[in-house]
Amino acid sequence: MNPLTEPATRTRQPLLDDAVIVLRAPTQVWSRETGDAGAGAIDGIYHGDVRHVRELELSCDQSEVEWISVAPDGPSRAVFSAVLRGLDDDTPDPKVRLLRERVVAPGEVRETWTLRSARDEPLSATLRLRLGAEFASLHDVKAGLPEAALTEVRGTEAQGTDATATARSQTASFTVDTEDGVIEVDGSDIRAAWSIALPARGEATVSWRMALDDTTAVVSGASQPSRIDLAAALGAARGGDPRLGRWLEVALGDLDALRLTLPDARDDAFYAAGAPWFFTLFGRDSLWAARLSLPLDVGMAASTLRVLARLQGDRDEPDSAQEPGKILHELRSTTLEQPGEGIALPPLYYGTVDATALWVCLLADAWHAGMPEAEVTALLPTLRAALGWLLDHGDNDGDGFIDYLDRTGHGLANQGWKDSGDSIQWRDGRLAEGPIALCEVQGYAYEAALAGAEILEALAGDADEAARLRAWAGELRERFAAAYWVQTPEGRYPAVALDRHKQPVDTLTSNIGHLIGTGILDADDEAHVARLLLGASLSSGFGIRTMSTGAEGYWPLSYHGGSVWTHDTAIAAHGMLRAGLHAEAQQVVAGMLAAAEAFSYRVPELHSGDPVTEVSRPAPYPAACRPQAWSAAAAVVALSALEGR
């Protein structure tokens, strides 16, 4: 195709960095700074995996609405402020204001509009709302499909009365109601109007509410309050770096808003991975978010473990990558298709190489942190099955290492946390061929085997199985030391992975940070790896880069090839604390705090790897999700490091 003569057909993921989000999982509203939605590709009202409303508009018959500010108040409330100069007198000060308060709860969006006047005479105004129903799949929105394509599949039906209107597709619906306005339906648009008599130097208020439903939803909003004591956390941070308290307040609010449950287990919450695309259960993400925030909430770790235990693999099923004992990767209501990437994941997908070991590691950490022994004991069957997967199924090619290979042709090509197609590459930029055995996964597996042995010996009296696990772990540690270390112009370090030919893929990456604290490295090597992570090629000053600047594939805005992910940085700091490298952990946290400040304390999924020597703040990765659970949980690691835990 000649790009100069043919129309562009490539789709692109929506950019998110300039949008305003108000959320309470599984419901979210994305808009412009005006509060209106429709101008941005991400804009709309979402519930679960469906964008119910594409366009949202407020207008006034008597005046242009000139928006001047937006003031978020936690994750679930925002107030947008405007002036209505068409209703003003001839003096220069604006005399009529409009405040638009938006509040989101699970399955509900509410707006309250308040008109305030400083004029000495009464005024009349008509305020109008327009909602454009759509019912597009979240996956289609993420794929950047043209709006014409979305319109063709939305199947909207709408009906209404003076006080209420309902729009529905085959499986999703929403109802809008108001007590003080008139509602009408116009095709796929729902319109409401309010005739307002505004007293002299007075105010008037109107409101509307939307209730959203999706009969195919596989997750629900958490009904119980968060167990995290925000006041205690902020008290612990008081007296130190003032940025930490501000980050904790935002981050813990976001974690609260990201809590979900399964519909048939409403008492067990877990953290959704993040907004907008990942309002669901993710094995790796939910585990790491619970693990990083464990010092403040043992209960969330326990409930996350139970949720994942209910869905543990119990059979061989190649299409979903399910295997006995394996912990899932992702739960969806429908098949997740990414046409541009050739990916089609079934609703229950197990294509993750690390979640199973991480489940065991979290169980051990939660047990040591005070998870009741009876709750740990109840999970022993899941523990045995997970350890069985590690020893019997995790090694696909018989070399003694835990690895992965997509055998379906439509699953994830890379199944570690860096799951983009180009994330595992050599220093010269070549992509590694699978099966891939990631370095950090060997660390997780080593830690999991020893942790599992400890639990089984202490709570089940199973000394034989404990001995078998410890022997397996010892052999893995020896094999790792012999196979993974490389020497390049950047120094000596563990390779990011072994490829299909058992060759160490020699790129210097942040993956090595995940090895610290697992026990697979000796103390001297842990200190050596920590120094590499803090060196100029990996540390940007705002966090640890995913890939060294010395690699051919490095680019500061590459998703996994040079950007900074705060959770990735936090995992390294978490390991340093476990390894007794407190000074190094505090140095890592200093970069995290600088990034948090740069993003007004709502740290996105990832940001650029630009160095602090060149920029005063990192550039946003414009398609990064926010809030993201494990980015928010990184604030708890910062608290632990600065408290000297």
Confidence of residue 146 (pLDDT cuts 50, 70, 90): confident
- Domain annotation covers residue 432: yes
Query: Is 13 contained in some domain?
Result: no
- Domain assignment present for residue 3? The answer is no
* CB burial string 174-211: b at 16+ within 10 A, e below: bbbbbeebebebeebbbbbbbebebeeeeebebbbbbb
**450 and 465 share one domain:** yes
Residues 515, 626: one domain?
yes
Q: Are 323 and 316 in contact (CB under 8 A)?
A: yes
Residue 478 belongs to a domain = yes
- Helix 439-460 crosses helix 355-368 at what angle (to 10 degrees)? 50
Domain final residue, candidates 184, 214, 244: 214
- Domain of 456, CATH number, reads 1.50.10.10
Burial of 397 (0-12, 13-18, 19+ CB in 10 A): middle
Domain annotation covers residue 1: no
Residue 150, pLDDT score: 63
Residue 11 lies in a domain: no
The alpha carbon torsion through 429, 434, 435, 441 (nearest 10 deg) reads: 30
Q: What is the pLDDT of residue 10?
A: 64
The range of the structural domain enclosing residue 171 comes to 20-214
Give residue-wise pLDDT tens across range 71-121.
999 999 999 999 999 999 999 999 999 999 999 999 999 999 999 999 999
pLDDT in tens, 246-270: 999 999 999 999 999 999 999 999 9
Q: What is the pLDDT of residue 157?
A: 60
Q: Which of the four pLDDT bands, split at 50, 70 and 90, describes residue 639?
A: very high
Q: How many CB atoms are closer than 10 A to CB 430?
A: 13
Residue 463: other Cβ atoms inside 10 A: 11
Mean pLDDT of 309-334: 96
Residue 4, pLDDT > 50, answer no
Instruction: Please tell me whether residues 381 and 235 are part of one structural domain.
Output: yes
How distant, in Å, are the alpha carbons of 237, 564, 631 from that of 581? 21, 21, 22
Residue 8 is assigned to a structural domain of this protein: no
Q: Say whether both 206 and 288 belong to one domain.
A: no
Task: Evaluate if residue 156 carries a pLDDT over 70.
Answer: no
Which letter does DSSP use for residue 201 in this model?
A: T
Q: What's 342's DSSP letter? A: T
Looking at the domain assignment, is residue 331 inside a domain? yes
Give the length of the chain: 645
pLDDT at 55 over 50: yes
Whether residues 305 and 156 fall in one domain: no
**In sequence order, what are the residues at sequence separation of 6 or more whose Cβ sits closer than 8 angstroms to the Cβ of residue 2?**
none
Q: Do 296 and 194 have their domain in common?
A: no
pTM given for the model: 0.95
State the residue for tokens 């941070």: 237
Query: Which of 188, 214, 240 is the last residue before a domain boundary?
Result: 214
Residue 237: pLDDT over 60: yes
100 and 139 in a single domain? The answer is yes
206 and 267 in one domain? Answer: no
Q: Based on the structure, what is the number of domains in the chain?
A: 2
pLDDT at 86: 96
- Give me the mean pLDDT over the 340-362 stretch: 94
One domain, residues 152 and 284? no
Domain-ending residue, one of 214, 231, 258: 214
513, 588: one domain: yes
Q: Mean pLDDT in the chain?
A: 94
- Looking at the fold, whether 314 and 432 belong to one and the same domain comes out as yes
Local confidence band at 563 (pLDDT 50, 70, 90 cut-offs): very high
Question: What is the CATH classification number for the domain harbouring 70?
Answer: 2.70.98.40
Q: What is the rounded distance in angstroms from the CA atom of residue 190 to the CA atom of residue 164?
A: 10
Residue 273 and residue 158 in one domain? no
